[in-house]
Amino acid sequence: MHTPITRRQLWSLVALTLMWGINWPMMKYSLRELSPLYFRALTMTGGALWLYGYYSARGLRMLPQGVEWRAVFALGLPNMLGWHTMSILGVKELASGRAAILGFTMPIWTVLLTVLVLGERLTRRVGFAVVAMALAIGLLTFNELTALTGRPLGIVWMELAALLWATGTLMMRRAKLTLSIEALTVWMMILSAACLWLIAWLNEPPPVWQFSGLMWGSLAYGMLVNYGFAQTIWSSLARHLPPATSAMSIMAVPLVGTLAATVIVGERPTWQDFAAMLCVMGAIAAVLLPARKIAT
């Protein structure tokens, strides 16, 4: 049964779209001065620390107990460590707008996993949304086909990231949690950041901690916005909205990212970008708008 989206959830989705959309070119800009894994480790650590302090000051119980640690590890692996590691490696290889588009094939994976694994019915509305998303991705990648085939590793990273995020989204919605979503999100970030520091130390040269003013601003955005407000909003929505709605409704993120990239990193959208916007809006409408009741 279709669950109507509330006004608060709708505004949360709008805010999340803007936050994450702008974050893609911000990440691309940051990689000019910092290697990808150290960038992820630094911003995730900063975001986790300020969220921990904020929620602790509000009186929330932050320390998991007993079997709650199992949920932190199980949900954190695909949702946090897997997605954020694979996606930043993809951003390093690809233009930020194109990386966002490939990463946000996640909704298609989400719907297909829901049907194949959970046995849910593929409705015409969701089927339309999947087709529209595929068409949008095709439009946006068409003029980059030659460049993309020259960067096969970036495509692999982004599609692995999308599949892991889709899996984590479904796991989050079905999890029976006694730990608050705020504490869960923070601890997933803390443990994932610890893993990222180790992976970065093993695979990348030590960073030179001398950044430009714009770079410091980009790092602050990653900590406070991407790993602050946005993560908590998404974790809550992923649990309380139907899988197709929570996934498809944020597909405007790569469109915002593509447009924001024109200002931040100088990437220019083409006619395919604007044509794809119509497809994405149609898909969002298909999963967000309630079905019309037919009088009998």
| % of the chain exceeding 90 in pLDDT | 44
Q: For residue 134, is it within any domain?
A: yes
Model confidence band, residue 296 (pLDDT cutoffs 50, 70, 90) = very low
**Is 60 exceeded by the pLDDT of residue 2?**
no
Q: What one-letter code names the amino acid at 35?
A: S
Spatial distance between the Cα atoms of 19 and 16, rounded to a whole number of angstroms = 5
What single string gives the DSSP state of each residue in 160-187?
HHHHHHHHHHHHHHH---SS-HHHHHHH
- pTM (2 decimals)? 0.84
Q: For residue 51, is it within any domain?
A: yes
pLDDT, residue 105, reads 80
> What would the pLDDT profile of 239-249 be if each residue is shown by its tens digit?
677 766 666 66
Our count of domains for the chain comes to 1
> What would the pLDDT profile of 57-91 be if each residue is shown by its tens digit?
999 999 999 999 999 999 999 999 999 999 999 99
Determine the structural domain holding residue 139 and report its residue range.
Answer: 7-205+216-287
Q: For residue 292, is it within any domain?
A: no
> What would the pLDDT profile of 180-207 be if each residue is shown by its tens digit?
988 999 999 999 999 999 999 999 999 9
Q: For residue 59, is it within any domain?
A: yes
Q: Select the more confidently predicted residue: 125 or 203.
A: 203
Q: What one-letter code names the amino acid at 285?
A: A
Mean pLDDT of the chain: 85
The single residue listed with the structure tokens 């029976």 is: 176
Q: For residue 2, is it within any domain?
A: no
Q: For residue 142, is it within any domain?
A: yes
First to last CA, the chain: 19
Spatial distance between the Cα atoms of 210 and 204, rounded to a whole number of angstroms = 17
Q: For residue 112, is it within any domain?
A: yes
**Is 80 exceeded by the pLDDT of residue 156?**
yes
pLDDT, residue 42, reads 97
Among residues 173, 189, 261, 192, the alpha carbon closest in space to that of 227 is found at 189
pLDDT, residue 147, reads 53
Q: For residue 293, is it within any domain?
A: no
Q: Select the more confidently predicted residue: 23 or 234.
A: 23
